[in-house]
Chain A
Amino acid sequence: MAEGHYDQSVSNGSIPHPRDHTPTARPHPTPIQSQSQSQAQAPVIRKKLASWVGFSNLPNQVHRRAMRRGFHFVTMVVGESGLGKSTLINTLFETKLYGPKSVPQPGQDRGKTVQIESTSAEIEENGVRLKLTVVDTPGFGDFVNNDESWKPIVDNIEARFDAYLEQENRVNRSKLVDNRVHACIYFIQPTGHALKPIDVEFMRRLHTKVNLIPVIAKSDTLTEEEVVLFKQRILADIAHHGIQIFQPPQYENEDEETIQENEEIISKVPFAVVGSDSLVNSQDGRQVRGRAYPWGTIEVDNEAHCDFVKLRQMLVRTHMEELREHTNEILYENYRTEKLRAMGVMQDETVFKETNPAVKQAEERAMHEAKLAKMEAEMKMVFQQKVQEKEQKLKQSEEELYSRHREMKEALEKQRLELEDKKRRIESGRPLTPEKGTKKRFGIGK
């Protein structure tokens, strides 16, 4: 029952937190014996300040440092060709990162595998520099046979993890470049039914390696009711297959507005987006980013028309840092653990536990005995296996003998029959070869 020691008395007039384990005579509930408590150095005491210290300026310091360094964000876009990926990226960041697509000419070779193409741009807004990298995956889902089309993509993501892992293990770690993919925007074709097999398969392979953000591409072909139904079906499919898409996390100590914003964003997943990097005239004469049809104009920035604003909010304005954190702390860590474990690096648990020699000896003895028992069992198994094999071999050779015997018997029988036949023929005086006349009968009847 290690209570730990208190290195600060409570006599300076501060009001202790009700959950503190204070040594005063005041009756207090017995402290809960938790594993962490016995391992922690000291329990946390919350104190109230008497006057202003000044560490509330810390976020500003972090801010200044971040501004100096600049930010780096890597996003990947995946989807069949023609779903508007490049247009959406241009629309999101208001910059023509991708020029007009070069369409393959008739007869031009379109390649056999998914390519990975990475484009970078440095954009600045209000003194904040953002290095944006977009990883495009042309060829995904475009071939007749799309088996393993996710493999180049998974390999690329893992290669980036590996590069970062290798950087971490270097002697000089001052220049850490984070090229890991922070978000993957997956474009779903607006069929209106449900997810296609290739969508499901891709998401299943990637949801543990990258933050998946599914979006419904070219959603201006769907009416409102169709969009709602489609989103429901997609979410049902995702839940059915156990796919984890990126969920904006909720924290308790956030203000009302942020919580509500978060809820709104979550309710619109997957986002039904429309992209446009050109200006058109809207119905009331304004110049807006949108698409002009004979029956009306859809505005990209209008929340009532599509979910583009929400996607931009989540991706750029509110959750970019969340995405990076999630990538760094959870996805990357999981990958690292798996990889190191696979390489045979064992986690030495004894670093954390306090050693008790007697217990340790007993443990060691038990382990040793268990090992011996295991070896014995293994040897027994090997012995049994060998016996079985030998039996099988013997059986096989026995069968072979039998079959050979049978064959020879049959051959003999055949020869005997032939000889008898010849004998009969010779006795009846007929020629040995059949006549030509019998053949004609087959031809006429046909």
Chain B
Amino acid sequence: MATSMVSQPEEITAGSYVGFDIHRPPSTLYRPVSLRSIATPLTSLIPSAITRQIEFKLVKRGFQFNVMVVGQTGLGKSTLINTLFASHLVESKGRTEPEVAPRATTEIHPQSHVIVENGVKLRLNIIDTPGYGDQINNDGCWDPIVKYIKDQHSAYLRKELTAMRDRFIPDTRIHCCLFFINPTGHTLKPIDIVVLKKLAEVVNVVPVIAKADSLTLEEREVFKQRVMSEMLHNQIRLYPFDSEDNDEEELQLNERIREMLPFAVVGSERTVVIDGKPVRGRKNRWGVINCEDERHCEFVYLRNFLTRTHLQDLIETTAQIHYETFRSKQLLALKESSAKAQQASQA
């Protein structure tokens, strides 16, 4: 379990515009804010000076976002992360030399980075899981992952419960888990179903169809339908969740996102020139794929979803739903065990 992060990772600027600086406070006084933690319907009416102050504080502290990528080897996880944040953050962990033995278990590799955009600091923690699903017998390959997620909750809980706790507890809980699905075109594999069930109970899961350039548009539609019906049948709860305090607009947005799940993405760190403009894409003998073109793949939707619209919500849902569930379970268990010990000592 590696909970230690690099204490002061150097700040990097993204290669191109990512967009999380949308969380910066507005310059005028009466613009409605995007922070939902204090967003009530009255916000657009009352002067947003109060909300601005709160926002300023939050922006000064910077945002902390922890994302985990889970998927078989060779699905383009590292490339997608690098494409999402427009910088080379993660190295591909694939095996390229025949002498190197393949990994025997799922390993957890956390990495910390700080990206700055327009004065907004985003502290990013990326947890890679090489070795997942790579062995011949993949029984239990999800255990290290679930354990790591629970360990982060547990560490936070412990810090919370100490008598002299820090003013600001560093948040290492996983806010989002990107699950990469193999683009077979048929349906989910048995191992995917098992792991998705286990992960959806402890973390926000966002499924993604990797290497979507191997599916034509019709195949993509059919595949998505099958995947979602499979998830529905197995009662896998996917993010975004709807809650009572979401307003009409947010519910609609969530509905639109849900229709698009899972995102069919293509990642690329290399730039190609299309119509004279350099964009990130892949070039073949028969065509050029533009990652940022909505007609080609849904990368743009995924990026907006993760960094622009739902960043704060992901963090909150982790804190309010997953962490609270974990916390109540833990405290109940603690109370039970102490009651049992009392009983045993009295007997």
Query: Which residues of A does B touch, CB under 8 Å?
Result: 80-83, 101, 103-104, 106-107, 110, 142-147, 149, 189-194, 196-198, 201, 218, 220-221, 223-224, 233, 236-237, 239-241, 283, 291-299, 304-305, 439, 442-443, 446
Contacts and interface: CB of A to CB of B under 8 A. Distances in A.
Contact of B284 (A149, A223, A233, A240): A223
A191 B288 CA distance: 20
A51 B346 CA distance: 117
Nearest to A295: B287
Nearest to B184: A82
Given A197-B135, A233-B98, A103 B295 contact: no
Contacts of B327: none
Nearest to B233: A106
- For A192, A198, A292, A295, the residue with the greatest tally of chain B CB atoms inside 10 Å of its CB is A295
A442 B343 CA distance: 12
Given A106-B229, A198-B136, A224-B284, A193 B342 contact: no
B140 to A, nearest CB: 9
A106 B284 contact: no
Contacts of A236: 97-98
**Shortest 8 CB-CB contacts between residues of A and residues of B:** A296-B287, A191-B74, A82-B184, A193-B94, A106-B233, A240-B98, A295-B287, A221-B214
B73 interface: yes
B135 A194 contact: no
A298 B283 CA distance: 13
A273 to B, nearest CB: 13
Secondary structure at the A interface, as helix, strand, loop or mixed, is loop
A241 B184 CA distance: 28
Interface stretch (B17-25, B30-38, B186-194): B186-194
25 contacts: A80-B184, A81-B184, A82-B182, A82-B183, A101-B186, A103-B187, A106-B229, A106-B234, A143-B190, A144-B138, A145-B137, A190-B214, A191-B74, A193-B73, A193-B96, A220-B284, A291-B216, A293-B213, A293-B216, A294-B217, A295-B289, A298-B284, A305-B285, A439-B346, A446-B341
Contacts of B282: 223
B187 A104 contact: yes
A147 B137 contact: yes
Secondary structure at the B interface, as helix, strand, loop or mixed, is loop
A164 B341 CA distance: 72
Interface in B183-226: 183-187, 189-191, 194, 211, 213-214, 216-217, 226
B296 interface: yes
B102 interface: yes
Nearest to A194: B95
A296 B288 contact: yes
Interface residues of B, number: 55
B292 to A, nearest CB: 13
Contacts of B67: none
Nearest to A196: B134
Contact of B186 (A103, A146, A193, A223): A103
Interface in B284-307: 284-290, 295-296
A221 B215 CA distance: 9
Contacts of A218: 214
A83 B99 CA distance: 27
Nearest to B289: A295
B58 interface: no
B75 interface: yes
Contacts of B286: 283, 296-299, 305
Contacts of B287: 293, 295-298
Given A191-B75, A233-B98, A197 B136 contact: yes
Given A201-B136, A443-B342, A194 B289 contact: no
A291 B97 CA distance: 33
- For A80, A294, A299, A304, the residue with the greatest tally of chain B CB atoms inside 10 Å of its CB is A294
Interface string B219-241: 00000001001101110000000
B139 interface: yes
Contacts of B102: 196-197
Contacts of B296: 294-295
A226 to B, nearest CB: 9
A364 B305 CA distance: 87
Given A142-B190, A149-B136, A293-B217, 18 more contacts: A81-B184, A83-B184, A104-B187, A144-B139, A145-B138, A146-B138, A191-B72, A194-B97, A194-B98, A196-B102, A220-B284, A221-B211, A237-B98, A294-B217, A295-B296, A296-B288, A439-B345, A443-B345
A194 B99 CA distance: 11
Interface in B325-342: 338, 341-342
A78 B111 CA distance: 38
A241 B102 CA distance: 13
Contacts of B135: 197
A191 B136 contact: no
- For A144, A240, A439, the residue with the greatest tally of chain B CB atoms inside 10 Å of its CB is A144
A442 B73 CA distance: 55
A421 B136 CA distance: 64
A146 B230 contact: no
Contacts of A297: 286-287
B139 A145 contact: yes
B285 A233 contact: no
Given A81-B186, A298-B286, A439-B346, A233 B96 contact: yes
Nearest to A189: B74
Contacts of A220: 213-214, 284
A145 B346 CA distance: 48
